[in-house]
Structures are given as C-alpha cells and as structure tokens.
Amino acid sequence: MMRLWALLLFTMLVTPVMAAGEHQENYLYFRELKIAPYQHLREFFDIPNRAGIYKVTLFSDSLGPLTFAVLRVLKEDDVETLVRQKRSYHINDHEFQVKFKNLQDKDDLLVEITNSNPLWTANVSVIVVEVTEP
C-alpha cells in the first residue's frame, strides 16, 4: 500500500501542471509551400466541424518581398472576407501571425501568399494550431 501512495505522489510531482493563464495548443495543419518568382498561391484549409480559435503562423527564410493574407470563407456561401494582410520586405526573416476566430463553426480558412521577387523561389511554412483558452 505504501508503494502505491509513493507512486501516486511521484506521478503527481512529475506530471507538468499548466500555469495560470497558459494556453493549450492542439496542432491541426503544417504545410511547406514553394512559390515561384512573381507567382501567387492560394492554400485552402478545411477547419474541423467545431467552433474554436485558431492561430495561423506563416514564416519564410526566403528573399522578399512577400505578401501574406488570411481570409475567412463561409462554408455555405463560399464568400471570402479578408481577416488580415501583411507585406514583408525582409531579406530572410519573414513572419506573419494572426488569430482566426471560428466561434460559430461557419468558416473555413484560406491563406494567400504572393512572391514579388523576380529571381528566387520562396519557401514558406504554414502552421495552423487550435488554441484552447482556459
């Protein structure tokens, strides 16, 4: 019996506990994209059928300029609305992050990336994570 209590106490001490105000994140999508010079790419993400808040992160180490845009697509009507857009002129450190709120489970996600560099292909990583607020 004493071993059981010792094991239970050890398990409780070793198990990580989330600090107050910390968010738990559940991974949904990760995509590596290549955009040719002077090309535009639209990538569609089918959001699961549940309401939630999602964090969309795009980053690239390519030579700019790059334009990132996140759009909301209504599931019933296929109507697109812009959530946020950013143009980045960095040389090799592009990052764009936005929260995508799908609180009524009526939306899907569309990401647009434009490579305005006339010579080099852009490599862009897109990560979509579900954020569970405490």
Tokens 């959001």 found at: 47
Of the two residues 78 and 4, the one the predictor is more confident about is 78
**How far is Cα 118 from Cα 133, in angstroms, rounded to an integer?**
42
Q: Does residue 117 contact residue 63 with C-beta atoms inside 8 Å?
A: yes
* Residue-wise pLDDT tens digits, 34-61: 999 999 999 888 877 778 888 988 888 8
**Structural domains in the chain plus CATH codes:** 23-132 (2.60.120.380)
Q: Does residue 125 contact residue 56 with C-beta atoms inside 8 Å?
A: no
Hey, how many other C-beta atoms are within 10 angstroms of the C-beta on 99? Answer: 12
